[in-house]
Each structure stands twice: as C-alpha cells, then as structure tokens.
Structure 1
Amino acid sequence: MKKKYAWLLALSLVLSMFLAACSGGGDKETADDSKDTADKPKVEQTLHFINGDTIPSMDPGMVTDEYGIQFTAAIMEGLYRLDESGKPTDGIATKHEVSEDGKTWTFTLREDAKWENGDPVTANDFVFAWRRAVDPNQGSEYGPYMMGGVIKNATAVNKGEVPVDQLGVKADGDFKLVVELENATPYFESLTTFPTFFPLNEKFVTEKGDTYATSADTLLSNGPFKFSNWTSTAQQWELVKNPTYWDAKTVKLEKMTYVVVKEAQTAVDLYEKGEVDRAGLSSDLVDQYSTHDDYTVEPDNSVFYIKFNQTRNKALANTNVRNALARAFDKQALVDEILNNGSIVANGLVPKDFVPTPDGKDFREASGDLMKYDLDEAKKYWEKALAELGTDSVEIEFLGGDNEVSKMMNQYLANQWTTNLPGLKVTLKEVPFEQRLELDTAMDYDMQFAGWGPDFLDPYTFMNLWLTGGGNNQMGYSNPEYDKLINETATTLALDPEKRFDNFLKAEKILFKDAAIAPVYQRAGALLVSPKVQGVFTNQFGATYEYKWASVGAEE
C-alpha cells in the first residue's frame, strides 16, 4: 500500500521493476506447420531482473519498504492476492461472509494450501501472524499502522493496554478465520492482500528466533515462488518456482534472477548484452532509447515529496519556512530534465487517476492544485519567516539517496532552494536506502526526499500518514482538525461515501495550508523491456508487480 517508505525509495524508479503485461516475443514457427507443437524447442522459463538495492527485510510483519513488500508478496500468500485487473482473487481464502454491520468477516480457507515444509496453512497461522504484528514486544511499524483502527483492539494491544489474545481475530477450526473490525472498513478485502496480513508458521518462526527471515534457509514460503539463495546483504539472488504452492500448475516461470545495480548506464549495458530482461532509464538515456523497439513508459500511483521534520531543526517548525521551501523549486523542470521518464508534477498528495469521488470525478481533479511552484509567493513566505525567526540566515540538512538519479535530484533541489531563498544554506546528506529508513524511523533528519505508494485502493492510504503520532508521520506534524476529519473517515463516516470523501478533500487542503510536506512528482518509469517478458501485472497498490501469471515467450 505501496508500499511505508515505498516510499523512501532509493529513487529506484530508475532501476526498479516497472512493467505491465507485455506482448510479443513468441517462438518462430518451424518450417513444417504440421509438425506437432510438442516437438518445438522448449522455452526456458527464466527471467533476469535488476533490483535498485539490497532487501532490508523479508519478515512480512516487519517490512516497511518497496523491496521487502515486493519479494514477500512473491514468496508468500495471504487470504487474497491481486489479479490482472487489480481486484482480490482467491489466495488462501476461497470465500468470505460479512455481517450486516460490516464488522465481522468470516473467511473460509482452502484445505490444500501448504507451507514449503509440507505443513498445512491454517487459520491459526493467520492468528499468530496478526497478533505478532501488533505485539508491542515485536516492534513492528506496519502492524499497528495497517491494523490500528481496523482490527478490533489492535491499537489497544499495541499500546499494551490489553493482552495480544484480545485482538479481533480467531480460528474457528483449522480452515475458518473470523475477524472482528473496530469499524466497517470499505477497503478491508484489499488489505488482506498486503504482506502485513500474511500468515506465519508459528513453529518455524519460533525455532528460527532472531535469525528468522534473514536468509533463504530461515524463510518458509507458501506462495508461488521461494528463494533458492538470499541473505540480507546479498547483491544477487534467485527466486524459483515453489512446487508445494497450492496453485503451482498455474505458475509458468521456473526462475527469476536478480542483481543489485544502482547506475542506469550499467543497467542498460547489461540489457544490451542480454544479461537482464529490463532496465530503467535515467533522463539522459531516455532520448537515446525512446525510439527503441523495447522502450516503454509505465505510469505509477506513487507520489514523492519533501518531508519537513519539525522537531530537529527549529526553522522547520515555522510554517512560513515550510511554505517557502515547498514553493521555491521548479517541479516541471525537475520532471522534464532530471527524470524525463513520464513522471508528472504533483501539486497534492493523492495521485491522479487513483480513485474517483462518489460522483465519478477523479480525486485529484476534485481537490485541485494545492501546492504549486510559485517563486513570488515563496519569497514572501521566506521574508516573513526570517523576520519571525529574527535572523537573516538559515541552515538545513537535506537527506537523500545515493544512487545516480537521486544525487542529481538532491543537487537540483539544493541549488533551487539556495538560489531562490536568500540566506538559506542547504547541506546534502546522501546515504544508501536502508540507512535512510533507519534515519527516518529515528527522526534523525531535517528535510528528506521521500515517497509513498498506496497499500490499498482508498485515499486513506495516503491521508492517514500524517495523523498525529502516526507510525509513518515521523516528522512531528500535528493538526487536531486534520486528525478529526481523517479519523471520521474510518469510523462514523465509514459507510457514507459522500461525506467520507468530503472529509478527505477538506483534510488535504489543511495538510498543504500547513505545508506539512512539499509534493514533488507522481512517478512513472521509462524502461527497456524484453518482449519475451509476458504476464507480469503492475498493481495499483501493495506489491508493485505480480509474477504468479508471468511467463517467457508466447504461448502457442
């Protein structure tokens, strides 16, 4: 939902895995059209991909980043998974029933689902995993974020106010799961596709202890694929088909290989040599390859922005400082010249073409442009800010990624700010992806380049990020009116779409009146993709890609 911090990506938009279902690349016909298809050369079902960095975690209860979410979704399966149209389809659950008040969901589980070690996947595996995700002793960030206010008692459990066995989930036998919600939740079915809600084999997790999910040997798959080799520091790894998966007959791919590459030119060189099957393009490479037969542009629902930490640097606690910074850089030039990959300017938080309002209008259109590049306004805010601070100079550290495009963007933004706002000094701090996650969690930064990809198909996946004290806020922002409006969308207005969306629209305006964040762009990706790659679905939320139905070459 891409998914927390998918969202602080190491600008892997350049190198990570953008691809929708691609066509073409079938086997050539043999000279004898009457020859039996069984005699045709067998296509090796192996694909080779690039990853923008190492995988920080493979523990589904602990993952907070795009990579962890992507790979846990590949090797594991929850109650449902997303199909080609982005709708939940059968996973471990085959059906569910919902009570009239929308608060009790009863899932019927399939009896043929197994873990990689042969154990059956049962309702108790979900109970154990969900309790673990909100157990305060576990320290999960996504557990309380995804389940709080949704699963009954999740917040109270996480605060230590009630024991974990009071969480609103229980097993009714081995193959029936009963879930009680705090409030009716319109998007709950889509939530169950997300890694935080995946089951865990209690015996296996307990036996592995602190080593669980740190290597291929300490992971247990129940999904379409499994790791054949991987460690938490690996620069390359492989996923292979999981023969114990309940729907293994549908899975055509036998193997996917991955190698960590951070430079776009290196990725393209590997692609040209036929060593990888897709490569992200940096802006300087787009013009060179835009006429290439394998060139494609993939839109995305991820939105990138500047986070302002109001607790570490007193200047950023000043609303006028934030308003000035948010308006003082040319976004159109950034997407045109630095990205040059189809990304578009963002002047709000909820992305374009993500969800419609109840009257059918796109949310972004209904809300409008709330934070545009406006140098004149930026300078006015800056003059007010300096007067309020009683100074003629301000120093701010800017945290960003360390890959090729990240560095170009960091330097561009720093130059725009220092040029357009007299007296401002910006110091760059460029670090690897995993370190940025750690610094964000510790709130050890002034400003940082961050982003968010939706975890479910609802504005709440973006809007709840900035609730006071929220697990993803981590910048000290707080507005009681904002909190009230957003909390109502998940409680008293849950079953009233018109009033619920009205609250979302009002809250987004408050967010940018406060200049809590500075929106930059909505991501897209320019890539070279081999025509032999087929059946890879790009999800609107959650894991970026779905590989269950992927294959190599055309099916004859």
Structure 2
Amino acid sequence: MKRQWFIAGIATTIVMGMATGCSSGNSTSNSNNGTQTPTGSQGSAASDAKDTFSMSFIDDGHGFDPGLFSWEMYQDGVGIFEGLVHTGPNGKPTAGIATSWESSKNNTVWTFHLRKDAKFTNGDPVTAQSFVYAMQRAVSPTLSVATKAASVPLGDVPILNMMDVRTGAKPASALGVKAPDDYTVEITLDRPDANMLQDICLPTSDWMVPLDQKVVENMKPSDWTNPSKIVSDGPYMLKTYKAATEGTLVPNPNYYTKVTMKKINLFYGNSQTLDQLVAFKNGSLDAGLIQPEQVAAAQNDSSLKSQLNMWDTSAQYSYVPLPSKNTALQNKNIRLAFEMAIDKNAICQGVLKGTASPAYGYFTPNWLDPWMADNKVDYNVDKAKQLLANAGYPDGKGFPTVIILVGSTTDHVAEAIQQMWEQNLGVKVQLQAEEWGQFVTDMKKQLPANEVGWLNSSTNAKYPQQMLPTTPSSWLINHTDLAKGYMNPSAYSGWLKIDNNQDLDAAKKENQEYPIFQQNLPKDYLDTLNLGVEAYQKQDDSLMKQYFTQMEQNAYTIPIYTPKQPILLRKDVQGYYPNKFLLIDPPVWLNYITKSN
C-alpha cells in the first residue's frame, strides 16, 4: 500500500466523521449523549482567563519527536518548535529563527541567516548546526527503524540527495544542508524551487526544526512523551502531557520575544469522547470544532452564531475508476456524464449541512487555486443523459452495474451519489461501504465485464507546483490508484502480480511496473501526464494550469467536495489564523493568539 493511501485513510475518516484524535480521559460525562467534556487539572471557564487559551488537537501518543511522523509532530509545528520560517498572519511565510534569506538565481541554493538571540528551553543557543543535525537525523534511514515509528513525510522540500540518504545509498553528510558558520544555514535543492519558503511552512515540513544535539543524543524514544525530557525552541514548551487526554503548554523562558499567553490547554478526543459544542458552551474551550449535524444548533443560538466560523481545509473527496474487464469508463464522454450527473452543491449544502464546498480538481481546492473553477464540469443532467446515449446507453439501458467502493461503513455522500446516478442516468448502482482493511483489499480487485466502478480516493492537497509529476514513471508508481483503472484489462493481472510481490525491492518493482503502464494506458492519459512533466521541468505556471485543467476536463477523476470545518471561536480571541492545510484547521502559530480585556 502506497503512502498516498495511508494519508487518504486519515483524510477519509476525518472528512466523513470530522473526528479529531483518540479517546479522552480525565473527564466528566455529558448526561445528554454520553460524551465527555474536559475538566480537572486544566480547569473550566476558559473564556474568563485572559492569559489562557484552550482548544482541542489531534493526538496519538507517539511522542513529540519532530523527526518522526505522528500527530504530535503537528503540535510541534504550531509553536513548541520553531523552524527557519513559519506561516504569517497573512498566510505567507514570515521570519522564524531565520531573520533574512536569499536564493541563487536559479532558486536551487537557499541561504538563511539566523537570529543570534534564539535559545532552547534549557538556555542552549540555537545554531545552524542545530538545523543540520536535526534534518540529517530526520532523513536518516535508521531513526524510524530504531524507534519502530513512521518516518516523516519527505518530498515537499526537494533537498539534494534526500532520498539517497533516506535509502542509505549516501551518507547523512551528503544531504544538501550545510552550516557555513554558526548562524548561516545553506540548503541546496535537487531542482529549482521558487516556492521554497511556502514549502517549508507546510505541516508536512514540521520536521525541519532545530534540535539540541547533546540533549537528543541522550534521549530514549519514550522520553519524547515526557515533558521534563523535551528541549525545544519555540515560544511554548510542553509542561504536562497525558497521551490521548490532555497537555499543557507554558512559555519558553528563553524565547527571543514576548510570548502572548501564560498557558495553552490542549484537549485530545474524538467526536464520540469529546463533545466540543458542549465544552465550548460550558466555557472549557476557547475554540471548538463541532460536527456537521451540530451546525444548525449553533446557527440557531444567537450567542453561538456570531462565534461560528466555516473554515476551508485542503482535503479533497473524489472518485477514481476501479480496474475492470469492461472498458466503458475509458470513454471520456461516459466519465463526463457521471460527473455531470452529480449535484455537488446539493451534497455540500444538504448532505453535509454547509460544511463543504464543491471540488473541481483532485489535487486543487478552489480556495487555494480558484482558476480551477474556470473550467469546471457543471451539473447538467440533460447533457449527461445525451452523452451516455451517444455512447450507446440511452437512459442507461445496457450499461454495466456501477460499483461505488468506499472505505468506511457509513458514507452519506456516496449514498446521495448512488441515488443521483440511478435517477439521472438510469443506471444500476451498488454501494460497497467497507471497513478500511477490506476496502484496501477490494480496491485492487478487477471487476468482471458486467461491472464498472468508482473508488473513493481522498487526498490532502498542497500547492499545485508540488503536485506536478516529476517523471512519468515516478508519478505512475506513486499514484497507481489514479491510473490502474485505465489500464488495458488484459494486462492488469500481470501488473497486480508484480505489485503484490513482496520479494521485489522498490527499485525492481518500479522497473517492472512502469513498462506495463506505459504500454497499456490510453494515449490521451499518457499525453496529459507528459504535459505535467513538461510543466514541472520548465517550472512553467501556464503549462501547470493547462495540465490540471486538462485532467479536469477529461474527468480522469471526479472531485466532489472540499470539507469545511465548523469551528466556534470566542469573541475575545484574536490572532487565530487557521491552518487550512490540516483538517482540523488549528492556528498556524500559537504565539499570534491573544485575548482582549
């Protein structure tokens, strides 16, 4: 299973359930629905404390090591640690530990000049070597093996030799991160990247923070859940922590500028264990992420309505064709008919209670890339019927049974689409809503000739420049779920045998899989992919837009919606700028948050 699907699994769960984390403890029950609201050591009536801010966050108990993938890594990134730059109030990169920077003419070498008054929580200075050590450690092939944890996501910042270091082909010293002196960090990329600063600000780059080497080298993996052992450099430091329950942040006494709050309370829990609407109403939370079904109650409450925000996220809920012995979905007009038969506005406003907006690109949410809407595929039942009739299926007669495969046992969006396709196109539609493990198995199965199908494929979008294919082979190997449904049916079993072969290493598997794709995908699909590669190689924004537009107009995927998060925020809170690149829309930087008197 590719990493794409690890991320997609998270996205699907949170998008559909708006879940936030793991089970919660140290709480009292809510007699109305059995959920719990935060009480105890952190107190209640958060809105009355002008120097305290309380919110929920995702937590999985894996620890606050920024060099390993965990939900705590995202907590690190909002102010426990501080990197070279971070997101500013206007959404653009702003100075962090680096106060200035410059790049070479071709944007392959970036030089950052560090502030000299930055210190870790133990008083040690933050130097350029702190960054070099931390990045080499995160990319090391041994860190995740030694700790049995997932390695950090790489690739959003194209550092020279990064993948070779990760695989062990080159030593850590070959990584394109150097310290010419104590307060200069030089990062060399493997390709030009004019958007380097915004790439560093993405949540997936939260591992690019400094570490105090002499401290970290003496830490055990379990120490990363022990606040007394963790040394960080951000405005806040971890004071208390109980996995999957709660944590407390207090100011770093050595931070180089003023820290805005005396205490940050973090509560962990999902929609079944932490009712954030109740917690917000009783004063336990200053910011509360509520469920779609609770939006109406908030809107009907005059005091809550003025504090309700509907913030965008980067998750995209889409459908892609399943492998089948029937090639009907390789017909562009049939795919367009299925997309035109979906009323995306009705889904967003009705099924999802206004907690989503229509999506028009698999990788590209409208709030980030509004140009995608210029070429959108509109809801048009009459045209959809005509396209299907022109393809030889008037009123859906003779069309194979349509399967919708989704990775959760409850999916009201899929249920609505099932009804729309049956009513608008006259086709027979069967919904398969499955537990995640069965879903992962079934999405590789080739459907018989009397069936075609669509697979729910959710993803977290990034800047469009980062979603361009670098080479046809790497894109096809890393995005097999977007391509395998277009493969010549007779070649699919051969590809699947190679893909399932556990004895092949990644390089050998890629060398055997790519020729099968190359020889058995439709020419128009490969031509579009090559357009994306050209846009990447030339770093040409015009070609980039052509590529994504062509993907959209050919309906290679059916993007359906981008979720919005309904979040209650107290009127006296200022400086909460949501990070739209994380599903729960946490603040981009905790040290922007203040409260009015």
Give the TM-score range, shorter chain: 0.7 to 0.9
Match of 2:156 in 1: 146
Q: Please report the TM-score for the alignment, with normalisation by the length of structure 2.
A: 0.69
2:548 to 504, 508, 518: 508
- Alignment of 1:224 onto 2:235: yes
Native 8 Å contact 2:340 2:377 kept in 1: no
CA separation in 2, counterparts of 1:392 and 1:8? 27
Match of 2:52 in 1: 46
Match of 2:199 in 1: 191
Structure 1, 375-384 or 261-270: larger mean CA deviation: 375-384
Equivalent residue letter for 2:174: Q
Report deviation, 1:475: 2.0
- Alignment of 1:523 onto 2:563: yes
Equivalent residue letter for 2:56: I
Report deviation, 1:79: 0.2
Match of 2:246 in 1: 237
- Alignment of 1:554 onto 2:563: no
Q: Are residues 332 and 273 of structure 1, via their aligned partners in 2, closer, same or farther at CA, if it must alter by over 3 Å? A: same
- Alignment of 1:11 onto 2:57: no
Q: Are residues 123 and 371 of structure 1, via their aligned partners in 2, closer, same or farther at CA, if it must alter by over 3 Å? A: farther
- Alignment of 1:252 onto 2:252: no
Q: Which segments of 5 or more consecutive residues in structure 1 lack a partner in the other structure?
A: 18-41, 356-361, 494-499
Native 8 Å contact 2:133 2:213 kept in 1: yes
- Alignment of 1:302 onto 2:348: no
CA separation in 2, counterparts of 1:466 and 1:117? 46
Match of 1:79 in 2: 84
Q: What pairs up with 1:421-460 in 2 under 5 angstroms?
A: 422-430=427-435, 447-448=455-456, 450-454=458-462, 458-460=463-465
Native 8 Å contact 1:60 1:196 kept in 2: yes
TM-superposition CA deviations, 1:323-369 (whole Å, max 9, x none): 666555432111111222353211224233435xxxxxx5234x420
Match of 2:115 in 1: 110
SS in 2 for 1:341: coil
Equivalent residue letter for 1:113: A
2:345 to 313, 322, 332: 332
- Alignment of 1:351 onto 2:354: no
2:276 to 237, 254, 267: 267
Q: Are residues 16 and 144 of structure 1, via their aligned partners in 2, closer, same or farther at CA, if it must alter by over 3 Å? A: closer
CA separation in 1, counterparts of 2:216 and 2:249? 22
CA separation in 2, counterparts of 1:377 and 1:64? 44
Match of 1:131 in 2: 136
TM-superposition CA deviations, 1:482-504 (whole Å, max 9, x none): 444334444433xxxxxx22212
CA separation in 2, counterparts of 1:258 and 1:316? 50
2:531 to 485, 489, 514: 485
Q: Are residues 368 and 173 of structure 1, via their aligned partners in 2, closer, same or farther at CA, if it must alter by over 3 Å? A: same
CA separation in 2, counterparts of 1:415 and 1:124? 59
Match of 2:33 in 1: none
Native 8 Å contact 1:297 1:341 kept in 2: no
CA separation in 1, counterparts of 2:125 and 2:236? 17
Equivalent residue letter for 1:298: M
CA separation in 2, counterparts of 1:230 and 1:545? 20
Match of 2:587 in 1: 545
CA separation in 2, counterparts of 1:256 and 1:186? 37
SS in 1 for 2:159: coil
Native 8 Å contact 1:307 1:449 kept in 2: yes
Native 8 Å contact 1:343 1:521 kept in 2: yes
Report deviation, 1:255: 2.1
Q: Are residues 105 and 547 of structure 1, via their aligned partners in 2, closer, same or farther at CA, if it must alter by over 3 Å? A: closer
Native 8 Å contact 1:142 1:196 kept in 2: yes
Match of 2:384 in 1: 377
Report deviation, 1:177: 0.9
Report deviation, 1:183: 2.8
SS in 2 for 1:485: helix
CA separation in 1, counterparts of 2:319 and 2:142? 28
CA separation in 2, counterparts of 1:201 and 1:481? 49
CA separation in 1, counterparts of 2:156 and 2:310? 27
Native 8 Å contact 2:165 2:172 kept in 1: yes
- Alignment of 1:167 onto 2:179: no
Between the aligned residues of both structures, percent identity stands at 20
CA separation in 1, counterparts of 2:293 and 2:344? 18
Structure 1, 269-278 or 413-422: larger mean CA deviation: 413-422
TM-superposition CA deviations, 1:174-208 (whole Å, max 9, x none): 22111112233111122233313223344544444
- Alignment of 1:200 onto 2:195: no
Native 8 Å contact 1:536 1:550 kept in 2: yes
SS in 2 for 1:475: helix
CA separation in 2, counterparts of 1:370 and 1:118? 57
Match of 2:303 in 1: 293
Native 8 Å contact 2:55 2:265 kept in 1: yes
CA separation in 2, counterparts of 1:375 and 1:202? 65
SS in 1 for 2:207: helix
Q: Are residues 200 and 488 of structure 1, via their aligned partners in 2, closer, same or farther at CA, if it must alter by over 3 Å? A: farther
SS in 2 for 1:537: coil
Report deviation, 1:444: 10
CA separation in 2, counterparts of 1:132 and 1:218? 18
1:475 to 481, 493, 504: 481
Native 8 Å contact 2:248 2:266 kept in 1: yes
- Alignment of 1:536 onto 2:576: yes
Alignment length, in residue pairs? 497
Match of 1:179 in 2: 187
Equivalent residue letter for 1:242: P
Match of 1:30 in 2: none
CA separation in 1, counterparts of 2:130 and 2:432? 48
Report deviation, 1:460: 1.6
TM-superposition CA deviations, 1:257-293 (whole Å, max 9, x none): 3131315993322222222223334444333332523
CA separation in 1, counterparts of 2:445 and 2:572? 45
Equivalent residue letter for 1:297: N
Q: Are residues 257 and 134 of structure 1, via their aligned partners in 2, closer, same or farther at CA, if it must alter by over 3 Å? A: closer
Equivalent residue letter for 1:526: P
Higher relative contact order (CA 8 A, sep 6+): 1
TM-superposition CA deviations, 1:366-390 (whole Å, max 9, x none): x42047575863896699799xxx9
CA separation in 1, counterparts of 2:74 and 2:392? 40
CA separation in 1, counterparts of 2:225 and 2:526? 40
Equivalent residue letter for 1:224: P
Q: Please report the TM-score for the alignment, with normalisation by the length of structure 1.
A: 0.74
CA separation in 1, counterparts of 2:386 and 2:274? 38
SS in 1 for 2:246: strand
Q: Are residues 90 and 258 of structure 1, via their aligned partners in 2, closer, same or farther at CA, if it must alter by over 3 Å? A: same
CA separation in 2, counterparts of 1:278 and 1:460? 33
CA separation in 1, counterparts of 2:168 and 2:383? 50
Equivalent residue letter for 1:527: I
CA separation in 2, counterparts of 1:308 and 1:16? 27
